[in-house]
Structure 1
Amino acid sequence: MMRSAPGIRLCLALFLIFSTLSIPSESAVSSIDLGSEWMKVAVVNLRPGQTPISIAINEMSKRKSPALVAFHGGNRFVGEEAAGIVARYPDKVYSLVRDMIGKSYKHAKDLANSLYLPYDFVEDTRGAAGIRVDDGVTVYTAEELLAMILGYGMSLAESHARVPVKDAVIAVPPYFGQAERRGVLQAAHLAGINVLSLINEHAGAALQYGFDKDFSNESRHVILYDMGSSSTYAALVYFSAYNTKEIGKTKSVNQFL
């Protein structure tokens, strides 16, 4: 049983996806491990002289950033800035945005009430939840709020890579259905992000686990266990290898199911 570092597992997944695409070597691609309360951002940068795979740090020199957005006094705060005012204005700082994506108004409201979150919900024409912010007039959908958080993550990637970053791989929980995944893609589109792939969190963890191991002589079952702030899940993964010919030589290639 193992629990993997989320930033690294996304880096590896991103690196493999990046290597199969025709993307200029001076470009960089981001990966976002999106949790309900926290997020991590990684960057693959193939420019000469740069570290190929690295974790982007935020403005507080932290590798993990709050997945928060806040509105106060006509200003918007995201990430660490939002976390800085949550103690004084808890009703103006919005968390668990990821968990409201693709859900009904009732689900989002029940979720917030169960955690005593004092949000002013409004039901939109889709039957989904919008949140009325501190001016008492403006209502944002969950997709719009998530777009602000994803945009913050991409700004961290650009600051780290020192080049424009528009492409990203985003990790989502394995239990996300089509409605939730469409919501994440819509939020990314609103943020101006080109999503190369949505990847299940446990798939990224499995990739990281088997990346530098040799299963040619022994197959193995591994339980991957992930406990987050709002959910916990486990995945049973089978690692093995198969032989293939490459330039006239036999090569062992790892695989997992």
Structure 2
Amino acid sequence: MGKYIGIDLGTTFSCMAYINESGQPEMIPNSEGENTTPSAVLFDGDSTIVGREAKSQSLFEPQNFEQFVKRHMGERDYLFTTKDGDKYSPEAISAIILAKMKSDAESYLGDTVDGAVITVPAYFNEAQRKSTMDAGKIAGLEVIAIINEPTAAALAFGISKGSDKPQTIMVYDLGGGTFDVTVMRFDSENITVLGTAGDRKLGGYDFDNKIIEAVIEVASEDGLDINKDMTARQDLQLKAEAAKKSLSAKDKTNITLNISGRPFKYTITREDFVDMVEPLLFKTIGSMENACDEAGLEYSDLDKILLVGGSTRMPVVRDCIKEETGIAPSSEVHPDEAVAIGAAYHALDVLKDMQKKAKQSGDTSSEVFDVEIPETSRQYTFTDVTSHGIGVIIQNEYGEEENSVILPKNVQVPAEHTNHYTTTVPYQEKLLIRVTQGEETDLRYVTEIGTAEIQISPREKIVGIEVTISCDENSIIHVRVYDKDLRQDLGEMHIDRVSNLSDEEVKQSQMRISKLDISGE
């Protein structure tokens, strides 16, 4: 009888949790005895090191060290290349991290990990969600569901500290590499997402980079080029992160480096840091306003602002939120652990649903019946929303290509919407559907997810077609086409996802990663 766990696959740190037999959440420590694992990979000869040790050894092998790969999920052209020329996709690097976590979890639990719920930023697009699921598959994990990070945190909060009194809560989730703000409504049994906004490339990493940019500029005035010394550059990356954390408790701190054999010292005060990061804080405020606008609410309608993500430990973040909203943000959940715990709770719900479906189908031999599902103190159902509009590229009346949204942003999922179109020329023999994410008509401001092509019966006239786009519980997109002239359902179309690995590439990566010697030390 295997275990089902929740995994927070983070940009800078990852962690995992499960629900014990008493219905209580427990963090699963890694093999080093720590609840969080740095999302860092070092390729060291025949071995592949993951976590804290990889980070500490990165100064010796900076060219073989990869971190922050979550920011590249869904980017088809991004490949990490080692010093020896070996290339790894973002999915493969993430799979290496997940494989280490799976192994550590099995050692700690004394049982196999049969499945996992993995979290993603609410503002991840479909390509990034699919990449995350592919990473799990490459690591040998059955990903039974994907859940948005703010929703997972809200689930953890609701079960541990919720009340029967209805509440409207904003979850401010600032992690190492991504930022989400989500407005939700709680009652005694339901969590409903009302609005979401964010930036998939805004997080603690960017706060570090503000320090890095300042150090590089001052060093260059002394005739030192840090970017030409890879060891010094990696040392600066680590020390900028440490300086940021230090300034949460101290008024000033020093960064000392050895750049091409010359010593260098940089002093930064908390006031300097606040000035540096002000533009980043303004970005988060913009997202807060957008999420409230989508929910049709004012800040005064909020009962609580819940902080999630390690970067919310910075006093400047808390001060900014209070100044903007007049509400002192709450730290009632552990910023690093709440998301994994929420994912673990969701794993129980998914398992119950799997057992129910297996029973309805008469499949009483299904392995899911071997799993005992503990009862928790509270149970919630939750309703999430689409974080982006989903549509197709069409030709307008002037013969120009533009985006046509079919499934709008902020619609509760699972969802399905249909739009009516026509073929473009008589005797047309095939339809090329180009699926997009984004709200704008202008193609420069949308992302093309992929294409789907299907043959149709040629006719001498322009004919009407219906395109139906659905978004499932994991926010994965499906497309169906209906021929109105022939009254014929052409079925679900296979989307060739331009930003994702093919099925064959996933299999090849799975074989490759399974042969690596992966460890944390």
Can you give the 5+ residue segments of structure 1 that lack an aligned partner in the other structure?
1-25, 105-127, 244-251
Deviation at 1:198, TM superposition (A): 0.4
Match of 1:129 among 71, 75, 78: 78
Match in the other structure for 1:101? 73
Deviation at 1:73, TM superposition (A): 2.6
Verify the 8 A CA contact 2:169 2:183 in the aligned structure 1.
yes
Verify the 8 A CA contact 1:166 1:192 in the aligned structure 2.
no
Percentage of matched positions with identical amino acids: 29
Verify the 8 A CA contact 1:32 1:168 in the aligned structure 2.
yes
1:207 to 1:242, Cα distance in 2 relative to 1, 3 A = closer
5 Å-filtered alignment, 1:46-85, equals: 46=21, 53-85=25-57
Deviation at 1:76, TM superposition (A): 1.5
Verify the 8 A CA contact 1:27 1:45 in the aligned structure 2.
no
State the aligned residue count: 195
Q: Which structure: larger Rg?
A: 2
Instruction: Supply the distance in 2 between the matched residues of 1:222 and 1:43 (Cα, whole angstroms).
Output: 25
Asked if residue 165 in structure 1 is aligned to residue 137 in structure 2, the reply is no
Match in the other structure for 2:182? 235
Match in the other structure for 2:166? 219
1:93 to 1:214, Cα distance in 2 relative to 1, 3 A = same
Verify the 8 A CA contact 2:9 2:118 in the aligned structure 1.
yes
Match in the other structure for 1:28? 3
Verify the 8 A CA contact 1:97 1:146 in the aligned structure 2.
yes
Instruction: Supply the distance in 2 between the matched residues of 1:164 and 1:52 (Cα, whole angstroms).
Output: 20
1:187 to 1:256, Cα distance in 2 relative to 1, 3 A = closer
Instruction: Supply the distance in 2 between the matched residues of 1:233 and 1:225 (Cα, whole angstroms).
Output: 6
Q: Match of 2:79, SS? A: strand
Instruction: Supply the distance in 2 between the matched residues of 1:145 and 1:254 (Cα, whole angstroms).
Output: 34
5 Å-filtered alignment, 1:236-255, equals: 236-241=183-188
1:57-108 deviations in whole A, cap 9, x for unaligned?
122211111111111233311123312312322222101111111025xxxx
Match in the other structure for 1:207? 155
TM-score, structure 2 normalization: 0.35
Verify the 8 A CA contact 1:239 1:254 in the aligned structure 2.
no
Can you give the 5+ residue segments of structure 2 that lack an aligned partner in the other structure?
191-377, 384-521
Instruction: Supply the distance in 1 between the matched residues of 2:51 and 2:189 (Cα, whole angstroms).
Output: 44
Verify the 8 A CA contact 1:173 1:200 in the aligned structure 2.
yes
Verify the 8 A CA contact 1:226 1:234 in the aligned structure 2.
yes
1:154-207 deviations in whole A, cap 9, x for unaligned?
112111111111310101100111100111111111111101110000111111
Instruction: Supply the distance in 2 between the matched residues of 1:142 and 1:219 (Cα, whole angstroms).
Output: 41
Point out the structure with the larger helix share: 2
Asked if residue 43 in structure 1 is aligned to residue 11 in structure 2, the reply is no
Between 65-74 and 144-153, report the one with greater CA deviation.
65-74
- Across the aligned residues of Structure 1 and Structure 2, the Cα RMSD in angstroms comes to 2.4
Deviation at 1:133, TM superposition (A): 1.2
Q: Match of 2:112, SS? A: coil
1:255 to 1:59, Cα distance in 2 relative to 1, 3 A = closer
Verify the 8 A CA contact 1:70 1:92 in the aligned structure 2.
yes
TM-score, structure 1 normalization: 0.69
